[in-house]
Amino acid sequence: MLRNFLLALVWIAAVLVVVGFLGPLHRAADSIAIVRPALGILCLLGVFLGRALWHRTVFAVIALLAMSTTAIPFMPQAPGGDMRVYSKNLWFANTQVQAVVADIEAADVDVVMLQEVSEKNNSILGLLKPRFPHQHLCKFSGRIGIAVVSKHPFAGEPVCSRNRPIAAAPVDLGSQRVWAVSAHIPWPWPYGSVENEQAALDVLSKLEGPVVIAGDFNNVPWSHRVTSIAAMTETQLAGPMGPTLHLRGIPLPIDFALAPRGGTVEMRPMLGSSHAGVLADVGVWVRGEL
């Protein structure tokens, strides 16, 4: 009886793994993809519990598919070396602004991407101004915004998306221009994030030249949301990724950085937020292009 119950769970897990790859058809699949690692582990259990060889083969293939597509973001990479960025969802009510500023300054970065900049924490922009004088803030409501702040000058006009998800600024990195993008895309289905996802893609599709994106994607790196953004901008995930938000005890890797050549990532403390910070040393150019 117990074996039959466990096998039923494994079959459900196997179906959900497959459904989680259907993000292009419906955004509910992206929400299911969030739990793909756990579903893959359940499928491994089916390799031992399956009654027939073809059952065990199906479970093994689906478990391998789940693990192979979710393991890559957690693998270490070579340092990027072209640009150093710090990304942080501040949390709108954060009162530890001084601690965040100290952590940013100690990291010695080129550009900072901030999300949930609010009336309660926007003093961070003034505190960062001596080191990061070039600042771009997109306010999408009376109390929440997204910012890009840079120690290097802007090489053109910054842009804001038509609603919440994107703030972008062209940064001059010693005669080379890079678009620095701060992202904060709302939670996927069943929340109404379709318009925000499209607004992000509309902006990103118009950016010319290399793009570095960091922020709170509210989804996992293997989701259709993130892979479609990476494909459009010709970027790849900097790693190794780690959990940045604990939702009811569940560790979720939803804050990260994308760059043309990937790079390395270090998780930074919460510092008054519900999100860990992300410090990324990313690659922008092929060495021969410099």
SS3 assignment, position 68: helix
105-160, pLDDT tens digit by residue?
999 999 999 999 999 999 999 999 999 999 999 987 667 899 999 999 999 999 99
Strand 145-150, strand 245-247: pairing: unpaired
Percent of the chain beyond pLDDT 70?
98
Asked if 30 contacts 1 with a C-beta cutoff of 8 angstroms, the reply is no
Same domain for 209 and 195: yes
Same domain for 67 and 115: no
Q: Which of 56, 73, 90 is the last residue of a domain?
A: 73
Same domain for 212 and 115: yes
pLDDT computed for residue 142 by the predictor: 64
* Sequence-distant (≥ 6) Cβ neighbours of residue 28 within 8 angstroms: 189, 190
Task: Tokens for 180, please give them.
Answer: 């620095």
**What is the rounded distance in angstroms from the CA atom of residue 132 to the CA atom of residue 147?**
12
| Residue 24 domain boundaries | 2-73
- Per-chain mean pLDDT for the chain: 92
| Helix (H) or strand (E) run with residue 232 in it | helix 224-233
Q: Is the dihedral of CA 140, 142, 148, 153 positive or negative?
A: positive
Same domain for 280 and 202: yes
13-30, pLDDT tens digit by residue?
999 999 999 998 888 999
Domains of the chain: total: 2
Q: List the CATH number of the domain containing 254.
A: 3.60.10.10
Same domain for 199 and 65: no
Instruction: Select from 212, 207, 205, 185 the least CA-distant residue to 197.
Output: 185
